[in-house]
Amino acid sequence: MAGASGYAGGEILRLLLAHPDLEIGALCAASNAGTTLGEHHPHLVPLADRRLEPATPELLARHDVVFLALPHGASAALAAELPDEVVVVDCGADFRLRDGAAWEEFYGSPHAGTWPYGLPELPTVVDGEVVKSRAALEGSRRVAVPGCYPTAASIALAPGFAAGLLDPQDVVVVAASGTSGAGKSLKPHLLGAEVMGSMTPYGVGGSHRHTPEIEQNLAALAGAPTTLSFTPTLAPMARGILATCTARLASPDTTDEQVRAAWDEVYRDEPFVHLLPAGRLPRTADVIGSNSIHVQVVVDRRVGRVVAMAAIDNLCKGTAGAAVQSANLALGLPETTGLPVVGVAP
Amino acid sequence: MAGASGYAGGEILRLLLAHPDLEIGALCAASNAGTTLGEHHPHLVPLADRRLEPATPELLARHDVVFLALPHGASAALAAELPDEVVVVDCGADFRLRDGAAWEEFYGSPHAGTWPYGLPELPTVVDGEVVKSRAALEGSRRVAVPGCYPTAASIALAPGFAAGLLDPQDVVVVAASGTSGAGKSLKPHLLGAEVMGSMTPYGVGGSHRHTPEIEQNLAALAGAPTTLSFTPTLAPMARGILATCTARLASPDTTDEQVRAAWDEVYRDEPFVHLLPAGRLPRTADVIGSNSIHVQVVVDRRVGRVVAMAAIDNLCKGTAGAAVQSANLALGLPETTGLPVVGVAP
Amino acid sequence: MAGASGYAGGEILRLLLAHPDLEIGALCAASNAGTTLGEHHPHLVPLADRRLEPATPELLARHDVVFLALPHGASAALAAELPDEVVVVDCGADFRLRDGAAWEEFYGSPHAGTWPYGLPELPTVVDGEVVKSRAALEGSRRVAVPGCYPTAASIALAPGFAAGLLDPQDVVVVAASGTSGAGKSLKPHLLGAEVMGSMTPYGVGGSHRHTPEIEQNLAALAGAPTTLSFTPTLAPMARGILATCTARLASPDTTDEQVRAAWDEVYRDEPFVHLLPAGRLPRTADVIGSNSIHVQVVVDRRVGRVVAMAAIDNLCKGTAGAAVQSANLALGLPETTGLPVVGVAP
Amino acid sequence: MAGASGYAGGEILRLLLAHPDLEIGALCAASNAGTTLGEHHPHLVPLADRRLEPATPELLARHDVVFLALPHGASAALAAELPDEVVVVDCGADFRLRDGAAWEEFYGSPHAGTWPYGLPELPTVVDGEVVKSRAALEGSRRVAVPGCYPTAASIALAPGFAAGLLDPQDVVVVAASGTSGAGKSLKPHLLGAEVMGSMTPYGVGGSHRHTPEIEQNLAALAGAPTTLSFTPTLAPMARGILATCTARLASPDTTDEQVRAAWDEVYRDEPFVHLLPAGRLPRTADVIGSNSIHVQVVVDRRVGRVVAMAAIDNLCKGTAGAAVQSANLALGLPETTGLPVVGVAP
């Protein structure tokens, strides 16, 4: 594992400590190499004395599975030096986008490629048919873990596009994230005194890097480009994302039952996606620490739009949980192995 | 003042304690009559021993200004018994809507009427001309204080509609509010253990009662009905509203400069509305305890939409501050008297 | 399980869902009988549709283990009707105190009796020898789960008293608790808007009911009555207790090494008690969702006192975790079965 | 003002903006010189475009009052170069301690001297008589603003020592502070994701630098050295300190009435110290943004101790409010000028 001292790395380790079939190998870090894990993640008591090593390809290559939890752009170079037979699960953005131009526009560097997308329950279109993304992950040696916002927004809206019920124009997503989503960067606006008791938007006007990723997921289902207005906001909580997503109904005749049936059909058998009973709305508290997504969808007849909402734990299902879930699929293990379904609430 | 034991009532009293020209008269309450104010608002030390009295018209009529901070629907009956010459400032919804049908649809009771709308800085159209709402408040004996969400959303979007830059279709507002917005109701989902660390939507699908009020404000400027998708969310903070609002540009040729100029022109001289410098985004923390609104507007060229954001203190500018500001106008006092411009941050 | 709709009940169910050897039986409640569990604990998705039944002795008696998560005073009557061979784990206070007079003073009702104390890692004196409390739990059919504050404070201080290093006079404990500790009671001071951003003491002056319980635990080790000043405070967080405990060194000659050795000796082999490395201090975030206790002890030479601190999750180790841990012992299962060691941080 | 970009500096400016008799002069900073104030304090809208200048003695000397909000140890050098007739109000620790040895032990540098202590309402002993500290501040040209913890703890306990009711041995203070108390330092443990939902102690074992300051204040009244165990804790809130303080009654015969009378006598006429009615306990929320201190005192008969509690806003009464209050006294203005009595709650 590379990037063990960050939040994503810590969460992967938390999950692996409870995983019956995966053993924790070398813990690597960049500037924190030489320190112990306990200095960075005091909650990971069983690993407190493990020393962080520099992330060399040689060291990582000795493992069956390598989790990369690195800053965007750092994974590609490292991954290029890892043997094909090692399962490489990249929590960064490097291999998420299929469109090289979109990558270059949003990340400002050459596009490294595209790996199977680590959101198993996402419906997508392959050869004209709607299938789940997990097909491409089974047995794969490379996995691009989705961004946290794209996970929430795509799962919230995908059934409507898969069923052709939604108009790909004028999709709007406003999402609130806990501040762990910004990582451990030492920036003044992330200080506790700044974030507690305050809400603030950021990456406004389509500039957030998760924008093309959400568009890619939805457009693949819509069969047409989407226009997505995406605004992330920072909420006074450590973990959690609530995505509030809205899109026009393609036809005013679509009934509430059709809408609900579309969502139900896609997620009915998913172990981690929970379409809430009518009348109940998702709360981030209910999924904290778990790999679950709570989803609700409501039709606003007055304006002919659907409002679809999803709550996830940005660090777990939004990053580390998806990484472990995808690794399970890559390794041929039961997909749910070692992954909590139930959040720590209240 | 009627409704002194609730959050809105407490905030009005906090402001009045610092107001040089208004003296605090009788403090009234319904079920809390007989108790002291200190039991409900321990922060209002100078009023701690004041006893709450039942809110009778006789008692209230003895004052120059009466603030009503009552549950929706309770103001109309009381107001009907107050003499015309008393300034009545209603923090409830009873007199906000002009459309009786919309009132009945959303509030389920007969429409009591329409009073001047207590958002002085809101541009509106009167006889085909864009004017500020304060005109109708000066010297008025009746004021309908706006809802907290409508204040934030309307101020955020109004300049674009006033300047004809925005399309009234597919307007989307997602707003996050601190939990004081729900009042002191003893409901399980408002317990601290439930709300801390959690975000959750409510009133989804256009069912929130502030929906027609926002529409009314925007439609008056757009000169056409708007279709508004409004989703409020509950955020883990005591105070504050962040409204994230987006609407399509009426024309793709509109420049960023035109957009900014439209917002600047409307708010340049407003003492409480602060259009942030380009690149800075509103934070609720910056307006807590103040009567200010921090606004920013950004164009998302990729999708041809404007994103307009506003941060307010839901209890202050969102309720009590607007009430005092309107009372100042009604009484012929300088509009800013007794109202803080600067928030308590961090 | 009786009391399934409350916080303690929900947490027991969260743990049992991950327990390999215990199957969840009937879910009982008092006023909430007839509702579904999902209405009270939306995070417990796998049990969402389970209906709550009235807590009758007949129904409960059909189980191997019965967890009682009831208001104080309600367990005794119910327990009296349960057969001896059923393992009854009471999360209430009814059977915690040995001193009937203390019970009556603090709880104002007749003393129901004393059951084995469900804090397995607590050293106590039996027949003049220091042993762990787990001895009395193995195979027991009755368990009194400790209070949350007593768990934190007793574990923090016990080694010093067990080793005779501390003076039982002038012990002071100040503890901060998340608001879930107050349960789901609908009281104004527990509303989110009241608790967020605020710290406040309560039960001041020795009146909190956990006072005699902490004294009982410490006095048993000190071999003498203790005088304990205990002040609980309510902190703006959902879960967690931080207990800051201080006691005079019995002798000024006691070295830092002796102090550390005393704590290390008692907890070295405990799976859930983690004496932090020197220089690191406990944080409640590190134990949230886990059954762990993080402990540190420091000598303040200037004043001849020891400062011992402990962090726990009040709902997990402080209640539900201890209940499951004790049930494991009662049933002859490995003590750690189904109990998380690692908290959900950040 | 030097140190305008930090939290203390920002709070002083917030207060000065509302001060009728003080005009804001040059805003100085060290590494932030050249930037605008708006980048650091977006809430201070009226000063947003003011540019920060380097803090040179020449520039500062041109003002009637100079507020220093600098890191500990930085004030002394700067102050030495300021003319005697300028009122210098130091928010740092440099001139708080009378005992040079204590200074050197806790701060590790040569002692710069002792200035009048800026806590006007603190009783202290001068020539054998108990007087308030404000006497030394009236007309003074130099003021040492107290530390935030010493303000809360000293005000909480002082009346008991002034009246000879308390034993100076085995005094214990445990205090919880919002994280703004740690300033804007970019340290991982101060990140929002780390502090939200968590309580943690720090400076344990008497090592916190406020320890000798509290001792100094209490010993001056007790007429004897005190032994103080002081533990500060970090609470998940932006502002506020709750100090829970306990000391033994000197005599078991002291009645509750005597205790209450002692506190009442000292604070009865103080505009900012509010002894709460019996039965009510201080909450930090009630004093946020204000210069007030809410105090309660309770006798714990079982153990013969007094528990005295105080809630303050660490940035306001704990720093900036005390600075302005002291400046008012130094300048001969009414002491309460420009200082809010009522906090922003909820």
pLDDT in tens, B41-59: 999 999 999 999 999 999 9
- Neighbour count for residue D49 (Cβ, 10 Å): 10
Residue B159 and residue B140 share a domain: no
Contact C307 D229 (CB under 8 A): yes
Contact A48 C277 (CB under 8 A): yes
Residues of chain B with pLDDT > 70: what percent? 100
Angle of helix B148-162 relative to helix B211-222, nearest 10 degrees? 20
* D28 annotated active-site: no
Contact D204 C296 (CB under 8 A): yes
pLDDT at C87: 98
Contact C192 B7 (CB under 8 A): no
- Is residue A336 a part of any domain in this protein? no
Which residues of chain C lie closer than 8 angstroms to D242, CB-CB?
199-201, 233
Smallest CA–CA separation between B166 and chain D, in Å?
Answer: 28
Continuous segment of H or E residues that includes residue A99: none
Contact D346 C174 (CB under 8 A): no
- Is residue B38 a part of any domain in this protein? yes
pLDDT at C1: 84
pLDDT at B72: 83
pLDDT at D73: 82
For the cut 90, the answer to whether the pLDDT of residue D211 exceeds it is yes
Contact D238 A196 (CB under 8 A): yes
Contact A195 D190 (CB under 8 A): no
For the cut 90, the answer to whether the pLDDT of residue A59 exceeds it is yes
Range of the domain at A26: 7-146+316-331
For the cut 90, the answer to whether the pLDDT of residue B71 exceeds it is no
Residue C163 and residue C125 share a domain: no
Residues on C contacting B at a C-beta cutoff of 8 Å: 7, 178-180, 182, 184, 186-188, 190-197, 236-239
Mutation for testing the A interface, residue in B303, B305, B312, B314 having most A CBs under 10 Å: B303
Phi-psi category of residue B40: left, alpha or beta, with phi > 0 → left and psi -120 to 50 → alpha: alpha
- Is residue D177 a part of any domain in this protein? yes
- What is the C-alpha separation between A33 and A25, in angstroms, rounded? 15
- What is the C-alpha separation between A167 and A320, in angstroms, rounded? 32
Q: Which residues contact B271 (CB under 8 A, 6 or more apart)?
A: B335, B336, B341
Residue A274 and residue A171 share a domain: yes
pLDDT at A299: 98
Residue A222 and residue A119 share a domain: no
Residue A188 and residue A124 share a domain: no
Smallest CA–CA separation between D181 and chain A, in Å?
Answer: 9
Nearest Cβ partner for D190 among A7, A191, A239: A191
Distance from CA of residue A230 to its chain's centroid? 16
Nearest Cβ partner for A238 among D182, D187, D193: D193
In this structure, are residues B61 and B321 in contact, taking their beta carbons and an 8 Å threshold? no
In this prediction, residue D139 has a pLDDT band, given cuts at 50, 70 and 90, of: very high
User: Residue D123's domain is classified under what CATH number?
Assistant: 3.40.50.720
Which residues of chain D lie closer than 8 angstroms to A238, CB-CB?
192-194, 196-197
pLDDT at C187: 95
**Closest listed residue to residue D275, CA positions, set D310, D239, D316:** D310
For the cut 90, the answer to whether the pLDDT of residue D71 exceeds it is no
User: Considering only alpha carbons, which residue of chain D is nearest residue C172?
Assistant: D172
User: Considering only alpha carbons, which residue of chain D is nearest residue C191?
Assistant: D346
Q: Which tens digits make up the pLDDT trace of D216-271? A: 999 999 999 999 999 999 999 999 999 999 999 999 999 999 999 999 999 999 99
Residue B128 and residue B166 share a domain: no
Q: Which tens digits make up the pLDDT trace of B135-149? A: 999 999 999 999 999
Residues on B contacting C at a C-beta cutoff of 8 Å: 7, 178-180, 182, 184, 186-188, 190-197, 236-239
User: Considering only alpha carbons, which residue of chain C is nearest residue B41?
Assistant: C194
Residues on B contacting D at a C-beta cutoff of 8 Å: 7, 10, 14, 17-18, 38, 41-46, 48, 180, 196-197, 238-239, 274, 276-277, 280, 283, 285-290, 292, 294, 340-346
Phi, psi of B28 (to 5 degrees): -115, 155
- Is residue B90 a part of any domain in this protein? yes
DSSP structure class, residue B36: B
Residue B128 and residue B104 share a domain: yes
For the cut 90, the answer to whether the pLDDT of residue D72 exceeds it is no
Which residues of chain B lie closer than 8 angstroms to A282, CB-CB?
200-201
- Is residue D68 a part of any domain in this protein? yes
The total of structural domains in chain C comes to 2
- pTM of this prediction? 0.97
In this structure, are residues C145 and C69 in contact, taking their beta carbons and an 8 Å threshold? no
Residue D165 and residue D95 share a domain: no
For the cut 90, the answer to whether the pLDDT of residue B35 exceeds it is yes
pLDDT at C90: 97
pLDDT at A72: 83
Tell me what the mean pLDDT of segment A264-282 comes to.
97
Which of the residues C28, C148, C245, C316 is marked catalytic?
C148
Contact C196 B237 (CB under 8 A): yes
In this structure, are residues A285 and B193 in contact, taking their beta carbons and an 8 Å threshold? no
Phi, psi of A112 (to 5 degrees): -90, -20
In this structure, are residues B17 and B74 in contact, taking their beta carbons and an 8 Å threshold? no
Contact A240 B198 (CB under 8 A): yes
- Is residue D339 a part of any domain in this protein? no
Which residues of chain A lie closer than 8 angstroms to B283, CB-CB?
198-200
Q: Which tens digits make up the pLDDT trace of C237-247? A: 999 999 999 99
**Vertex A326: Cα angle to A325 and A329 (nearest 5):** 95
User: Considering only alpha carbons, which residue of chain A is nearest residue B300?
Assistant: A205
Q: Is residue C200 classed as helix, strand or coil in its secondary structure?
A: strand
In this prediction, residue A310 has a pLDDT band, given cuts at 50, 70 and 90, of: very high
Residue B86 and residue B162 share a domain: no
For the cut 90, the answer to whether the pLDDT of residue D35 exceeds it is yes
Residue D142 and residue D159 share a domain: no
For the cut 90, the answer to whether the pLDDT of residue B4 exceeds it is yes
Nearest Cβ partner for A17 among C38, C287, C342: C342
pLDDT at B146: 98
Q: Is residue A49 classed as helix, strand or coil in its secondary structure?
A: coil
In this structure, are residues A48 and A4 in contact, taking their beta carbons and an 8 Å threshold? no
For the cut 90, the answer to whether the pLDDT of residue B73 exceeds it is no
In this prediction, residue C72 has a pLDDT band, given cuts at 50, 70 and 90, of: confident
pLDDT at C71: 86
Q: Which residue has the tokens 């910004």?
A: A182
Neighbours of chain C (3+ CB pairs under 8 A): A, B, D
Residue A116 and residue A212 share a domain: no
**Vertex D337: Cα angle to D335 and D343 (nearest 5):** 100
Contact A42 C345 (CB under 8 A): yes
User: Residue D214's domain is classified under what CATH number?
Assistant: 3.30.360.10
Residues of chain C with pLDDT > 90: what percent? 97
Residue B66 and residue B39 share a domain: yes
- Is residue C336 a part of any domain in this protein? no
Interface confidence: ipTM more than 0.90: yes
Residues of chain D with pLDDT > 90: what percent? 97
For the cut 90, the answer to whether the pLDDT of residue C287 exceeds it is yes
Q: Which tens digits make up the pLDDT trace of D79-125? A: 999 999 999 999 999 999 999 999 999 999 999 999 999 999 999 99
Q: Is residue D155 classed as helix, strand or coil in its secondary structure?
A: helix
Contact B285 A198 (CB under 8 A): yes
Name the pairing type of β-strands D65-68 and C123-126.
unpaired
DSSP structure class, residue D2: B
- Is residue C342 a part of any domain in this protein? no
pLDDT at B18: 96
Average pLDDT value for chain C = 96
Check residues D73 and B111 and name the one with the higher pLDDT: B111
Cis peptide before B232 (omega within 30 of 0): no
Mutation for testing the D interface, residue in A35, A196, A316 having most D CBs under 10 Å: A196
